[in-house]
Amino acid sequence: MRVWSVHPRYLDRQGLVACWRETLLAQAVLAGRTKGYLNHSQLVRFRATADPVASVCAYLGVLAVEADERGYRFDRSRIDRPVALDAVVPLPVTEGQVAYEWAHLLAKLAERSPDRYALVRDVTDVAVHPLFVPVPGPVEPWEKT
């Protein structure tokens, strides 16, 4: 499961679709609808919020907007609750985590989506998903490096 901290604008088609599907799984886990993935490390940051389901729903909403901008149709009815970003507290993400994910994403794009890689490879000020706010620090302790 990869719930990206980087902005979904950088993801290729495969990455955006995978992130959508994996975050829907995260939503199911956080809502108590599945027995699998209960202890997945990527869920730590959502569980640390007052309302983990609201946070993951807000995350999904941003992915749906990105999909719309690309002409894809993600089924918004699969989001448990439509939650605006300003209705949830932003989650911190360390600069080290963002740098780690950026390098990971660039490697994936270079291999499977050369056109997308060419568009983003020179980005130096990496934007994060709007649910997150960057803070100083190393790679997050929950990350499997």
Residue 78 contacts residue 120 (beta carbons within 8 Å): no
Provide the 8-state DSSP code for 94.
E
DSSP notation for 34-85 = -STTTT-GGGHHHHTSS-HHHHHHHHHHHHHHHHHHTT----GGGSSS---G
> Count of domains in the chain?
1
Whether 106 is covered by a domain: the verdict is yes
pTM here is 0.95
Which residue in this structure is represented by tokens 């829907």? 24
- Give the pLDDT mean for 49-76: 96
Does pLDDT of 1 surpass 70? no
Q: Give the whole-number percent of the chain exceeding pLDDT 90.
A: 90
Do the domain assignments include residue 104?
Answer: yes
User: Is residue 103 included in any domain, yes or no?
Assistant: yes
Residue 51 maps to a domain: yes
Name the β-bridge partners of 91. Answer: 132
User: Is 1 inside a domain boundary?
Assistant: no
Q: pLDDT averaged over the chain? A: 94
pLDDT tens digits, 81-128 = 999 999 999 999 999 999 999 999 999 999 999 999 999 999 999 999
